[in-house]
Amino acid sequence: MKYLTIVLVILVIVALRFWRRKNMNAQSANKVKALRPMSPLALKFYTIWVFFTINIKRVFRDRLALFFTFLFPLIFLIVFGSLSHNSHLSLRIALINQSKTAFAKSYVTSLEANKVFSINKTITTLSDAYTNMGRGIIDTAVELPPNFGKLVNGIPTGQAIVHYTHNNDQAEQALVSLLQTQFNSINAKYLQYNPPLKVTPVVSNQHSLTSFDYTFTGLLGFSILGVGIFGPMNLFPELKKMGILRRLHTTPLRVWQFFLSNMVGQAVIGLLSLAVMLAVAALLYNIKIVGNLAELAVFLVLGIVLILGIGLALGGWAKNERQVAPLGNIIVFPMMFLTGVFFPRFLMPNWLQTVTTYMPLTPVIDGARMILTEGKSLLDLGPQLLVMGAWMLIIYAIAFKVFRWE
């Protein structure tokens, strides 16, 4: 997996260098091509290519745009990745050992080696333990009485006493369950018996998701929101304010050409941003990549184009930044918190899950998760693609309707 990520990063760097060199060569070649007569159709697509290169240059020359396109999603990725990898169960306990037996010493050593328990070794008395529990420094305290581990007929006996407060009853239940499991394992070594009821583990061949695997595709959706909505939403009103769009309106440039150039440009920039996120997630957090990366790239391009339609509609309609910001927040924030960007949708009530299924970003996140971590193909994403296609028709119909040059 790490080798695949390294190759992916190298390909991205090579592509950027190749694009820059090709663009420099194209600048000199364009002067010659401009003198040649072009067919009307070729001229239209040449116009799209020119505005595509302009959009790419604008992003890579704008430090603020580079930060919010590439670094800002990485900050969220590192934060959530660190939280996910530090989310294992850890009980903060105080261990009060009053026993001098050999069994008590070995048992204390085993508890200290267990990563589930975070033992505060500075607490040595019950009074200190109660004081620290009251302050929230520890969850519970485990007391080993003087007779703990005393041998009776060659078998160690005794009981561990768990002290807790009313506010920490859940931690107490977890600790008692863990300690009892340990004691059952120890008791089985001394008392041989065949229990009538047993548990048999069976390993499934299906892939399971870690918490970060589930979160990562939500962060991809967050990056798509930034590339697709905030870019045009901030750029278009600025171009109108500067009078650039009004001057473009006097040229043969058509709205569909302007939109298409932005779509292609944002798709390229978005894929680069998502590729960087995927590389960092694979290198730092060992994310499981099960599906086909080519199919994932195609699906993410469709997702970027879909969300970009919202940005084109907002930026094309608004006259200035003050007009577009409130409406943009009304649209963006529900999608950020109801489509699985920051926390799973299955935690929501059933009725809310049903409603949010048909939000524009939901099928993008669900489809990316199904390809990336479940190994699904594009042919398996019929419902997601259907919802995305319906939204594309609606959103771009609105975008063309409300667009204005000034």
Q: Does 76 or 387 have the greater pLDDT score?
A: 387
Q: What is the CATH number of the domain that holds 110?
A: 3.40.1710.10
User: Does residue 69 lie within any of the structural domains?
Assistant: no
Q: What angle do CA 11, 17, 23 make, to 5 degrees?
A: 130
Same domain, 166 and 56: no
Same domain, 250 and 339: yes
User: Does residue 278 lie within any of the structural domains?
Assistant: yes
Distance CA 213, CA 210 (A): 5
Provide DSSP, 332-370. Answer: HHHHHHHSSSSS-GGGS-HHHHHHHTTSTHHHHHHHHHH
Residue range of the domain that includes 163: 91-188
- Cβ(368)–Cβ(215) below 8 Å: no
Distance CA 22, CA 8 (A): 21
User: Does residue 172 lie within any of the structural domains?
Assistant: yes
- In one-letter notation, the amino acid at residue 19 is W
Q: Does 305 or 37 have the greater pLDDT score?
A: 305
- Cβ(171)–Cβ(140) below 8 Å: yes
Half-sphere exposure of 126 (CA within 13 A, CB side): 11
Same domain, 217 and 349: yes
- Cβ(273)–Cβ(223) below 8 Å: yes
Phi-psi region of 404 (alpha: psi -120 to 50; beta: other; left: phi over 0): beta
Same domain, 101 and 56: no
Distance CA 140, CA 135 (A): 12
User: Which of 188, 218, 246 finishes a domain?
Assistant: 188
Same domain, 246 and 170: no
Highest mean pLDDT among 136-140, 175-179, 290-294, 385-389: 385-389
pLDDT band at 118 (very low <50, low <70, confident <90, very high): confident
Structure confidence by residue, pLDDT tens digits, 5-32 = 555 556 556 565 655 665 555 555 554 4
User: Does residue 32 lie within any of the structural domains?
Assistant: no
Same domain, 167 and 238: no
The alpha carbons of the chain give a radius of gyration, in whole angstroms, of 30
- In one-letter notation, the amino acid at residue 280 is V
Same domain, 228 and 260: yes
Mean pLDDT of the chain: 79
Distance CA 349, CA 294 (A): 35
User: Does residue 262 lie within any of the structural domains?
Assistant: yes
- Range scoring the smallest mean pLDDT among 143-157, 170-184, 192-206, 377-391: 192-206
Phi-psi region of 340 (alpha: psi -120 to 50; beta: other; left: phi over 0): left
User: Which of 188, 222, 240 finishes a domain?
Assistant: 188
Same domain, 171 and 100: yes
Cα 391 to the chain's mean position, in Å? Answer: 23
Identify the pLDDT of residue 37: 65
Identify the pLDDT of residue 395: 92
- Average pLDDT of 272-291? 84
- The residue among 351, 356, 324 whose CA lies nearest residue 337 is 356
* Per-residue pLDDT at 84 exceeds 80: no
Number of domains in the chain: 2
User: Which of 156, 188, 220 finishes a domain?
Assistant: 188
Same domain, 373 and 235: yes
Structure confidence by residue, pLDDT tens digits, 210-263 = 667 778 888 888 888 888 888 787 777 777 888 887 887 788 788 888 888 888
Identify the pLDDT of residue 33: 47
Structure confidence by residue, pLDDT tens digits, 23-65 = 555 555 554 444 456 677 777 777 888 888 888 888 788 787 7
- Cβ(273)–Cβ(227) below 8 Å: yes
Maximal CA-CA distance, the chain: 105
Same domain, 272 and 372: yes
Alpha carbon distance, N-terminus to C-terminus of the chain: 50
Same domain, 223 and 371: yes
Of all residues in the chain, the percent with pLDDT exceeding 70 is 82
Cα 226 to the chain's mean position, in Å? Answer: 14
Which residues 6+ apart lie within 8 Å of 145 measured at CB?
Answer: 98, 99, 158, 159, 161
Q: Does 193 or 65 have the greater pLDDT score?
A: 65
User: Does residue 218 lie within any of the structural domains?
Assistant: yes
* Per-residue pLDDT at 1 exceeds 60: no
User: Does residue 140 lie within any of the structural domains?
Assistant: yes
Q: Which residue has the tokens 């959706």?
A: 221
Residue 214: count of CB within 10 angstroms of its CB: 17
- CA distances to 230, 274, 359, 380, 405 from 377, in Å: 30, 19, 22, 5, 41
Same domain, 290 and 225: yes
- Average pLDDT of 76-93? 71
User: Does residue 152 lie within any of the structural domains?
Assistant: yes
The alpha carbon dihedral of 79, 345, 225, 376 has a sign of: positive
